[in-house]
Structure 1
Amino acid sequence: MLLASVTVPANAHPHIFVDTGLEIIFDNQGKLTHVKVTWKYDDLYSLFLAEDYKLDPDHDGELTDLERDHLTGFDADWVEGYAGDLEVVLGGKVLTLSGPLEPTADMVDGRIISTHLREVSGTPAIEGDTVSLKAFDPSHYTAYDMTLPVKVSGRSDCTFQRVEPDIDGQLAQMQALLLTLDADADLEENDIPLIGGEFATDIRVTCPAL
C-alpha cells in the first residue's frame, strides 16, 4: 500500500506492515464465539523486534524454545481503550471483543509471527446474517494486509467473501477534503476522519439459519 506520493496527513503513511489472517470460530450451537488473529510482521520491524528482545543471535531466522517463550505476549499487553485493530460488525453494530487471549509468538524465515484469540461478547447467533470483519489501524500507522489464510471453524454452511477497498477513490476523497483547508489547519478540529478503515479489506461471513 503505497501512499508516499500523495498529499495526505503525515500519520496516513504506514510505518509497520503486517500480513494478517483470521479464523472465525463458532461453537457447536452455531454461535460466533471467537476470532483468532494472526499477525506476520514485515522484515524490518521483525529485525527491530529481534534486536530489542535479543533473539536469533545465530541469524538462522528461527527461535529456540526459550526465545519463543520470551517473545510470547510481546504484542498482547494492550493499553486501556486499544481495540486491537480489529472491527467486527453484525447488523450495523460493532461487536464487543475481549482483549488478547492465548497469545503465541514465533519467527519463521526471519519474520515474527504472533497469534491471539478475541472472545466475542454475547456469542451472537449468525442466522441468515452477514458479519463483517476488518483489520485496521484507524490512524493507518500500521498497515494490515489480509494476505494470510481466512477460514471459518465450527460451521461448514457459512460462506465468506473479500471486499477490497477502493484505494484510489478514498485517496481522491481525502485530497479533496484537504484542499478545502489551510495548510496549518488542525485536522481534528475540522472533522477530518481517520482513514485506516477505508483502506481495509472487508471479510464478510454469511451463515444460514440453523
Structure 2
Amino acid sequence: MRWIAPFLICCLPFSATAHPHVFIDTGLEFIVDESGQLTHVRVTWAYDEFYSLLVLEDMNLDQDADGVLTETEEQILSGFDAQWVEGYNGDLVVFADGVPVALSGPMEADATAENGRIVTSHIRAVDGGGVPAAALTAKAYDETFYTAYEVTRPVKVSGPESCKIDRIDPDIDAELAQMRAFLLTLDANYDLEENDIPLVGESFATEIIVTCPST
C-alpha cells in the first residue's frame, strides 16, 4: 500500500493534501469469554522503518543502531503511542451485529523492536463488560489517511475455537480510480483551509469479520 502516497502526490493539482505519512502493519486479537461475549481487543502496530527511526532517535534509544532494544529501552518506549487525546478512537472501529462497540482507551501498552521497526501492542476493554461476539466486524483506519493501516499481522480470536474469521480487502484500483477522478476536478486555486479534504481512509481499510456460535 505504500505506493499510494506517491500516486496521490503526483496526481494532485496542488502540493498539499492528505496522504500517508506513517505506515503501520496491524494485527488484531478478539478476546471472547466462555459465554460468547467479546470483552477485549488487543491491537498490534508495527511501524514503518523510517518512522521507527525518527521515534528512536528522538527518544535517544537504540544508540548502537543494531535494531534491538534492551529491556530498559523497551520500558522507556512502551506507551509512547498510548497517550491519546480525548475523543480519539484509536483508529479502530468495531461493530457487533451492526451496532458500534464502545472501547476503552489503551491498557497494558508495551513496545519492542523487530529488525529496526517499532512494534507496539495495547488492550482495549469493551465498555460495559462485553457484547455478543456472534457477528463482529472491525476496521483499522485513519479517516484522514495521514496514517495508512494494513492488516498484515495475525488476526485471531482467543476463546471459542469454533469462531470464524474472514476478511474483505479493499479494491485498491477502483478506489484509486475514483480518487483520481475527483482530484482531477480540482484546480490550483482550491483552498484547503476553506474546503474539507476528502476523508478517504476508510476506503482503503480491510474489513475483518468475526462470527462465533451463540452460546
What is the TM-score of this pair, normalised by structure 2? 0.88
* Corresponding residue for residue 35 of structure 1: 41
Q: What aligned pairs does 1:76-91 form with structure 2 within 5 A after superposition?
A: 76-91=82-97
Residue in structure 2 matched with residue 124 of structure 1 by the alignment: 131
Using the TM superposition, give the Cα deviation of residue 79 of structure 1 relative to its aligned residue in structure 2, in angstroms. Answer: 0.9
Aligned mates of 1:146, 1:72 — CA distance in 2: 22
C-alpha distance in 1 between matches for 2:85 and 2:19? 23
Percent of aligned pairs sharing the same letter: 55
Residue 101 of structure 1 contacts residue 117 of structure 1 at CA under 8 Å; is this kept in 2? yes
Partner of 1:144: 149
Match of 2:32 among 26, 33, 39: 26
Asked if 2 retains the 8 angstrom alpha-carbon contact of 1:11 and 1:140, the reply is: no
Which of 102, 106, 109 matches 1:96? 102
Say yes or no: does 1:62 pair with 2:68. Answer: yes
Shift of 1:12: 3.3
1:190–1:144 CA distance, 2 compared to 1 (3 A) = same
Q: CA RMSD in A?
A: 2.0
Query: What residue in structure 1 maps to residue 210 of structure 2?
Result: 205
Unpaired runs of at least 5, structure 1: none
**Are 1:5 and 2:10 matched, yes or no?**
no
C-alpha displacement of 1:190: 6.1
TM-superposed deviation, 1:48: 0.7
What is the aligned partner in structure 2 of residue 17 from structure 1?
23
The amino acid that maps onto 1:125 is P
AA partner of residue 94 (structure 2): V
C-alpha contact (below 8 Å) 2:32/2:133 kept by paired residues:
no
SS at match of 2:119: strand
TM-score by length of 1: 0.90
Which aligned pairs between 1:160-199 and structure 2 lie closer than 5 A? 160-186=165-191, 193-199=198-204
Give ranges in structure 2 of 5+ residues lacking alignment.
none
The alpha carbon displacement at 1:187 in A equals: 6.2
* Whole-angstrom CA distance in 1 between matches of 2:86 and 2:178: 32
SS where residue 156 of structure 1 aligns? coil
Question: How do 1:45-60 and structure 2 match up within 5 A?
Answer: 45-60=51-66
Q: Could you say which residue in structure 2 is the equivalent of 1:115?
A: 121
Q: Distance in 2 between matches of 1:146 and 1:11?
A: 24
TM-fit CA distance, 1:177: 3.1
